[in-house]
Amino acid sequence: MRILAAMSGGVDSAVAAARAVEAGHDVVGVHLALSRMPGTLRTGSRGCCTIEDSMDAQRAANVIGIPYYVWDFSERFKLDVVDDFVAEYTAGRTPNPCMRCNERIKFAALLEKALALGFDAVCTGHYAAIVTDADGNRELHRASDEAKDQSYVLGVLTAEQLAHAMFPLGSTPSKAEVRAEAAARGLSVANKPDSHDICFIPDGDTRGWLADRVGATQGEILDREGNTIGSHEGAHAFTVGQRRGLSIGTPAPDGKPRFVLEVRPKTNTVVVGPKEALDIAEIAGSRYTWAGAAPRDPGTPFACEVQIRAHADPVPAVARVVPAPTPDDSGRTELVITPTEPLNGVAPGQTAVVYVGTRVLGQTTIDRTVSAVPVGAVPVGAAPSSPSR
């Protein structure tokens, strides 16, 4: 097959490309230039898709012996990932830019261009596996190395995208084996640090980065009963589950710390409360997709596991597709997921990925959550008290 190998400049994508060549495929390497600042360099493990990464990818392609190109996707990346990130935070949601990049850049824009140029598939260094079932349907599964499994961030892939995807590292027992293989192949990236944090915020200061783009407007901090207990310099700087940086002068009635429970961008307010109120009994989202064949009857509750972060433990749950609950959503449906035990600190905008065993069944962007502790309820272990301002 003609394979387009997406080469980030890291060890995983380099070894994946080398394995595709070794398997007998006709491989071409491509590096995606996503930054509008091409002179940017990495700082240790922070940042990616920089000029340094491009040069590392070039050297790896030379060693492997494949043609190599750099494609400028910076405009598409800004619109579909960076601007989306800002818009989601402005709307009071907590987005996952890696999910958006996989969905809209690597397996939408890149795959679309690859197919138009006559390639059969896009190869990446993700740790995930594709399995073909008895009916010929391609399924996305967890990688052999659970510690490096990246099936969560690939949960946005559709059946059509899986049909043209290749993940050569899926059955590799460990990252250490990949690094050893890279060294044996003479690849200089064998010991290159993995990238962490958001690639377009390499210094890790998300709050400062957002403030520069959204601005800071003072608003109120409320308790669950609607009482004003403090102020802030911009609701966009807060995420559900946050504890630090609230600067609330009035102590809670029970003396315990408060956590961000909700961000309301329309009124520029932040709602805080006890840690127990972060427990979520149900999540739902209308922007859902299936990774391969959909359930035979998604309207009938089915057993599954749900994962809400890339490295979170999956939780047993029951899921179903139902009509959206409000009149203005007429005709729309949503995926409703009820975990058997409460999820903690879930925010709208996060992605919930649904698994059945090792298989990724699908995903949804979370639109709404239902707290396991209703307003006015006394958290376990707390004494009843009246709200104070």
Q: What is the predicted pLDDT for the residue at 382?
A: 43
- Judged by average pLDDT, the poorest of 44-53, 103-112, 145-154, 176-185 is 44-53
Regarding predicted confidence, which is higher, 349 or 208? 349
Of the candidates 82, 90, 95, the residue with the CA atom closest to the CA atom of residue 264: 90
Across the chain, mean pLDDT equals 86
Give the mean model confidence (pLDDT) for residues 78-83. Answer: 90
Residue where the block lists tokens 């590392």: 56
- Judged by average pLDDT, the poorest of 101-115, 178-192, 243-257, 302-316 is 243-257
Output the pTM of the full model.
Answer: 0.85
Superfamily of domain 214-274: Adenine nucleotide alpha hydrolases-like domains (2.30.30.280)
- Residue 238 contacts residue 260 (beta carbons within 8 Å): yes
- Judged by average pLDDT, the poorest of 47-56, 133-142, 300-309 is 47-56
Regarding predicted confidence, which is higher, 176 or 374? 176
Q: What is the predicted pLDDT for the residue at 310?
A: 87
Give the mean model confidence (pLDDT) for residues 230-247. Answer: 81
Largest CA distance in the chain: 72
- Residue 185 contacts residue 129 (beta carbons within 8 Å): no
Read out DSSP for 141-179?
EE-S-TTT--TGGGTT--HHHHTTEE-TTTT-S-HHHHH
Percent of the chain scoring above 90 in pLDDT: 48
Asked if the model's pLDDT at residue 45 lies above 60, the reply is no
Rounded distance between C-alpha atoms, residue 54 and residue 32, angstroms: 8
CATH of 2-191, one of 3.30.70.380, 3.10.150.10, 1.10.357.20, 3.40.50.620: 3.40.50.620
Grade residue 208 by pLDDT with cuts at 50, 70 and 90.
confident
**pLDDT tens digits for 306-362?**
999 988 899 999 999 999 877 665 678 999 999 999 998 888 899 999 999 999 999
Asked if the model's pLDDT at residue 386 lies above 90, the reply is no
Give the mean model confidence (pLDDT) for residues 236-261. Answer: 80
Regarding predicted confidence, which is higher, 217 or 53? 53
Q: What tokens does 125 get? A: 């260094």
Q: What is the predicted pLDDT for the residue at 385?
A: 38
Rounded distance between C-alpha atoms, residue 32 and residue 114, angstroms: 13
Asked if the model's pLDDT at residue 260 lies above 70, the reply is yes
Grade residue 384 by pLDDT with cuts at 50, 70 and 90.
very low
Q: What is the predicted pLDDT for the residue at 212?
A: 80
Rounded distance between C-alpha atoms, residue 34 and residue 52, angstroms: 13
Q: What is the predicted pLDDT for the residue at 308?
A: 94
**pLDDT tens digits for 120-131?**
999 999 999 999
Regarding predicted confidence, which is higher, 248 or 113? 113
Grade residue 243 by pLDDT with cuts at 50, 70 and 90.
confident
The active-site residue out of 49, 98, 123, 199 is 199
- Residue 278 contacts residue 240 (beta carbons within 8 Å): yes
Give the mean model confidence (pLDDT) for residues 12-41. Answer: 87
Q: Which amino acid is at 324?
A: A
Residue where the block lists tokens 């010929």: 136
Burial 292-319 (b: 16+ CB within 10 A, else e): beebeebeeebebbbbbeeeeebbebeb
Does residue 123 have an active-site annotation?
A: no
Count the neighbouring beta carbons within 10 Å of the beta carbon of residue 170: 22
The active-site residue out of 49, 98, 101, 123 is 101
Q: What is the predicted pLDDT for the residue at 381?
A: 43
Asked if the model's pLDDT at residue 372 lies above 80, the reply is yes
- Sequence-ordered alpha helix ranges (H) in 159-236: 159-162, 175-184, 206-214
Asked if the model's pLDDT at residue 299 lies above 70, the reply is yes
**Is residue 334 within a helix (H) or strand (E), and if so which, with residue range?**
strand 333-339
Superfamily of domain 278-371: Translation factors (2.40.30.10)
Domain ranges of the chain: 2-191, 214-274, 278-371
Does residue 199 have an active-site annotation?
A: yes
Burial of 161 (0-12, 13-18, 19+ CB in 10 A): buried
Regarding predicted confidence, which is higher, 228 or 24? 24
Regarding predicted confidence, which is higher, 44 or 238? 238
**pLDDT tens digits for 179-206?**
999 999 999 999 988 876 677 777 777 7
